[in-house]
Amino acid sequence: MRLTQALTISKSSYWKAAILGVFILISVLAFWFGLGLVLRTNSPLMPVGSTGMEPNLNFGDLILIQGVTNASEINALPLNGDIIVFRKPSEPSTIVIRRAVDKTFNYGVWYFQTQADLNESPDPWGSGQNPEDTWGDGFFHQKFLIGKVVGKIPYLGYLPLYVTELVRNPAAMFLLVALVFLVILIGYSSLLKKAKSLSTL
């Protein structure tokens, strides 16, 4: 009888843990989409994975990004320009964080020039995949803009950077999954031992 009760309690504990996990996941997703709606972007949070913007943005910071509905609102000045997030013209899958140091209006659209705070000269982005993607000496089309940085949380970006590195490294991901599975197995085994010990009382 006690064994049955103990097993029922252990199963109940796992169900509670599972429900709590689902609740946390839903809460995180709701926060993400809610924040995206407020900031008008699909990417409201992003980790800093380079040192080019130090000391203003450090490696491992988590930045808060606000979407830009009107590209003319971007403040583009050397040293004091907005820090913007955009897709690299020649490789749109790569996301870059830089300071806007100049902009120009051509053919009905804005083009931006950027520079890393640690560099002494603007970024030479070269040519994009289409003729209109870039203009002049290192200016890129406004369509690559994701938004501008409006805040940061120090060190919190290390977690997504670590997870991203795990995804890129299958061996590390396998070890992590194996470790989680081992922890769950050990925890379940200890619950069974406790249940059996209770049954002998």
The secondary structure of residue 116, as a DSSP letter, is -
The DSSP bridge pattern shows strands 62-66 and 45-47 to be antiparallel
Question: Which tokens hold the place of 188?
Answer: 């379940």
CATH 2.10.109.10 maps onto the chain at 45-153
The closest of 145, 160, 151, 148 to 47, measured between CA atoms, is: 160
What is the model's pLDDT at position 27?
72
- 3 state SS of 139: strand
**Residues lower than pLDDT 70 in the chain:** 1-17, 25, 28-29, 31-32, 167, 170-177, 184-185, 187-201
User: Residue 97 — φ and ψ, nearest 5°?
Assistant: -120, 120
| 37-80 tens-digit pLDDT | 777 788 899 999 999 999 999 999 999 999 998 999 999 999 89
- Third-level CATH fold of 45-153: Umud Fragment, subunit A (2.10.109)
Distance of CA 49 to the CA centre of its chain: 10
- What's the confidence (pLDDT) of residue 164? 77
**Residue showing tokens 């050990």:** 186
Residue partners of 118: CB distance under 8 A and separation at least 6: 51, 52, 53, 54
